[in-house]
Structure 1
Amino acid sequence: MAELDEILKRYTDPATGPVHGATFVAVDSKGNDLYCSSFGSRTVDRSEPLTPDTLTWIASQSKLVTSVAGMQMVEKGLIGLDDDVREVVPALEDVKVLLGFEGENETADDLDLLATLRAGGKVDFETIKPKGEPIYEDVKGKITLRQLMSHTSGFCYDVGNPLILKWSAQRGRKENMFSGTIGGSTHPPVFQPGTSWAYGPGLDWVGQVVEALTKKDLDTYMQENIWRPLDATRMTFHPTKHFSPNPMPPLHESAVRSGSSLAPEPGTSPWPLEARDAIGGAGLYGSATDYIKLLSCLLQGGAPLLEKASSVDELFRPQIGEASTQAFRNHLLMGVGHRLFRQSGDEATKDELMPVGHSLVGQSNMLDVEGRRKKGSVSWGGLPNLAWLIDREGGVAATLFTQILPAGDMLCREMVVELEAALYRLKGQKGEE
């Protein structure tokens, strides 16, 4: 444990550390704690201590939870993975694929816009309004639960896609993926379902499927069917309401790092604290000590949340075809993915990227990574540089909680790789005892 302590202490050092606060929690396949500790501060000014129970916006780590809720619907026989969700969610009933705009082709301006988006720059909606009308194509076939979970449905995040940004600008659309409303996820898909891969609001729509089938708000459903069975009391989409009438626990503050600066500076979370809707792909707040209970449950076979071990197998196995896999690999190469996806700590070329697939819960490793995760492990993360891992063969589940912006921070990636390697050394030592 001393090695893990040293890594976290170094990265959160008040004088030289690039992270103001980080929590790392890990368990083995029997549910025993391997490690649980926080270093640094929950505040950017380093004035308040961080603990493993500190309330944190977990962003896309919400997706794993919503996938489990979706699989519960499948186990109950309320929907199949390959059923058309448009028959359940009226808002998707008449959706069409957006191909482009009349009189426009991909131009240098579009490529410049894409480069601006990838660099985190701001977009002037007035300058990107298309002159022609949208060109649509009917959806060919179904939009399935499986596609929504694996990001092959055609839906992409709006703030990172020039086509959807132009569509939004033309309509004067105000909501987006950070609005905390399902309207922020309501826009056309940009490719035919099942033909490619794009990171997007698929799990937001899975949440809507759960709500439609259960007639319950997603937060209420998860409290009753996920968090209560796990005795997890600090997981919610609506923290101000959830903890009332008691005061809401203090939050892990957001920090931003820009340019070549190592020190994080005060930042603003892009997610509204009082979101209107329970957004299944991004909206959860919670603690590392509660989130690890979900990871541990899945590591041990899924009970009490899932009735069948085969349901966990289905969640974890690679799900996407060749074209979608190539699009997914391109996504990772653009720097959006965690360094966990690479064979080493260095940046990778297309040939050097480790073989990966995409499951119903995140990235799936196709080979062992020496000294770290085993083949078949699954992992993903959250925008403020959180990360989670479930390795059934290696008998390990772990999560890192931080609140550093922007996503894909290089120093946070290095911290994740170091922590994972040290965790497996610790696991090996415990196995020898």
Structure 2
Amino acid sequence: MAELNDILKRYTDPATGSVHGATFVAVDSKGNDLYRASFGSSKVDRSEPLTPDTLTWIASQSKLVTSVAGMQLVEKGLITLDDDVRDVVPALKDIKVLLGFEGEDGPAEDLEILKVLRSGGNVHPEKIKPKGAPIYEDVKGKITLRLLMSHSSGFAYDISHPKLLKWSAQRGRTDNMLSGSMEGSTHPLIFQPGTSWAYSPGLDWVGQVIEILTKQDLDTYMQENIWKPLHATHMTFHPTKHFSPNPTPQLHETAVRSGSSLASQPGKSPWPLEARDAIGGAGLYGTANDYIKLLSALLQGGSPLLKKSSVDELFRPQLGEASNAAFRAWILMAGGHRLFRQTGDDATKDEMMPIGHSLVGQVNLEDVVGRRKKGSVGWGGLPNLGWVIDRESGVAATVFTQIIPPGDPICREMLVELEGALYRLKDGKKE
């Protein structure tokens, strides 16, 4: 385990490292630990040690949990993956597809907005407010759990899509994807369901399906049907309420990347500590020690949460040709393909191995040499968290950090190094 220790020590070194704290936990297919350790601090000033029990906002690593919960409802016969959720969720009954705005000259303005967003800038609402009325189209076909979970429903995150930014500006809308309320996920679609792909609040709406069909709020449902069976006591959408009357455990502070180093003061987390709603795609707080219990259960076939056939369905590629092309284009734009370069690949080239998207995250359609195998699934969370389940190799792992902005290249390098060292450790154990 020395190699993994050395990697984490190097990245979190108070003098030379540029990650204030990182936890890495990995298990094998029997649930045995391959590695479990934290290095660095939960505080940006390096004053408190980080541990695998430090409470952390896991952001989009919430999506896996909500997909599992949704699949439990499918197993119970409450809904199928291909039923129209508009028959369940009244708020979606009259949803439309936003095509654009009257009087627009063309896509040039949207491209300029995208350039600003991709450079990390902010777009002022008054500068993008359209003069003409929105142009809508009726939804053709169904909005299903399958489409919501695979981000091919037509929804897109509102603060990263030009049309939705303009729509919000025109309406004076202040809620958005980071508001901690379902109002932030309530807006038009940007394409017809099943025809493309966009990273989206789809799992937020899966959470609403769960709440309506079970007559429970999402946090209560997950406590009873996911975390209690796994003996996980520190996973919740509402930390202050969950731990009351005891104090909320120490939180992993948010650090902000400034150049190649971290800002000297903690940043403000993009997510409210006490969100109004349980947001299935982004809102969970938890610990690495508890999250690995979910990954381990899925690695071992799903028990006590799901049947193996349900896990198989969650993990298989789901997208059609057009949707998968849009997904690959998004990965390239976000730089995510650099996580999966083969040994010897030219780092200056925008090339990518074959990938797809499942109901829980990315699926690798080829082996990554020395790392995850074909059929592995994985995803991450905004403050540069990541998880992977590789059923062929018998490995599940997660890295917990709390650094913004997302897609931090240094955190990506750390993840790649950790994964390579983990597989060398596992292969050494087999020998």
TM-score by length of 1: 0.97
State how 1:128-277 maps to structure 2 within 5 Å. Answer: 128-258=128-258, 260-265=259-264, 266-277=266-277
SS at match of 1:390: strand
State how 1:222-371 maps to structure 2 within 5 Å. Answer: 222-258=222-258, 260-265=259-264, 266-306=266-306, 308-335=307-334, 337=336, 339-343=338-342, 347=347, 349-350=349-350, 352-371=351-370
Question: Residues 390, 243 of structure 1: CA spacing in aligned structure 2 closer, same or farther, 3 A cutoff?
Answer: same
Question: Residues 342, 139 of structure 1: CA spacing in aligned structure 2 closer, same or farther, 3 A cutoff?
Answer: farther
1:147–1:153 CA contact under 8 A, matched in 2 = yes
Can you list the C-alpha shifts for 1:240-284, whole angstroms capped at 9, x where unaligned?
Answer: 0000000000100000112x3323442111000010000000000
* Shift of residue 430, structure 1, vs aligned partner: 1.2
Q: 1:65 aligns to what?
A: 65
Q: Hey, what's the Cα distance between the residues in 2 that align with 1:37 and 1:200? A: 32
What amino acid is the match of 1:29? S
* Shift of residue 110, structure 1, vs aligned partner: 2.2
Q: Hey, what's the Cα distance between the residues in 2 that align with 1:330 and 1:429? A: 37
* Shift of residue 107, structure 1, vs aligned partner: 4.1
Q: Hey, what's the Cα distance between the residues in 1 that align with 2:406 and 2:28? A: 28
What amino acid is the match of 2:163? L
Q: 2:401 aligns to what?
A: 402
Q: Hey, what's the Cα distance between the residues in 2 that align with 1:415 and 1:19? A: 9
2:382–2:404 CA contact under 8 A, matched in 1 = yes
1:20–1:264 CA contact under 8 A, matched in 2 = no
2:42–2:50 CA contact under 8 A, matched in 1 = yes
Q: 1:103 aligns to what?
A: 103
* Shift of residue 58, structure 1, vs aligned partner: 0.2
What amino acid is the match of 1:245? P
Runs of 4+ in 1 over 6 A off after TM superposition: none
What amino acid is the match of 1:40? G
1:16–1:263 CA contact under 8 A, matched in 2 = no
* Shift of residue 14, structure 1, vs aligned partner: 0.2
Structure 1 gaps of 5+ residues are none
What amino acid is the match of 1:73? L
SS at match of 1:19: coil
Q: Hey, what's the Cα distance between the residues in 1 that align with 2:128 and 2:335? A: 24
Q: Hey, what's the Cα distance between the residues in 2 that align with 1:62 and 1:339? A: 23
Q: Hey, what's the Cα distance between the residues in 2 that align with 1:160 and 1:336? A: 16
Can you list the C-alpha shifts for 1:54-95, whole angstroms capped at 9, x where unaligned?
Answer: 000000000000000000010000000011000000000110
SS at match of 1:30: coil
May I ask how many residue pairs the two structures share in their alignment? 429
Identity score, percent: 77
Can you list the C-alpha shifts for 1:286-336, whole angstroms capped at 9, x where unaligned?
Answer: 000000000000000000001x21100000000001111111111111125
What amino acid is the match of 1:115? K
* Shift of residue 108, structure 1, vs aligned partner: 3.0
* Shift of residue 111, structure 1, vs aligned partner: 1.4
Q: Hey, what's the Cα distance between the residues in 1 that align with 2:182 and 2:381? A: 19
Can you list the C-alpha shifts for 1:208-236, whole angstroms capped at 9, x where unaligned?
Answer: 00001000000000000000000000000
What amino acid is the match of 1:380? W
The root-mean-square deviation of aligned C-alpha atoms, in Å, is 1.2
Structure 2 gaps of 5+ residues are none
Q: Hey, what's the Cα distance between the residues in 1 that align with 2:406 and 2:52? A: 21
TM-score by length of 2: 0.98
Q: Hey, what's the Cα distance between the residues in 2 that align with 1:309 and 1:183? A: 35
Q: Hey, what's the Cα distance between the residues in 1 that align with 2:221 and 2:112? A: 43
What amino acid is the match of 1:280? G
What amino acid is the match of 1:178? L
Q: Hey, what's the Cα distance between the residues in 2 that align with 1:422 and 1:192? A: 43
* Shift of residue 385, structure 1, vs aligned partner: 0.3
Q: Hey, what's the Cα distance between the residues in 1 that align with 2:323 and 2:348? A: 20
2:340–2:368 CA contact under 8 A, matched in 1 = no
Q: Hey, what's the Cα distance between the residues in 1 that align with 2:239 and 2:362? A: 29
Q: Hey, what's the Cα distance between the residues in 2 that align with 1:278 and 1:172? A: 24
* Shift of residue 343, structure 1, vs aligned partner: 3.3
SS at match of 1:23: strand
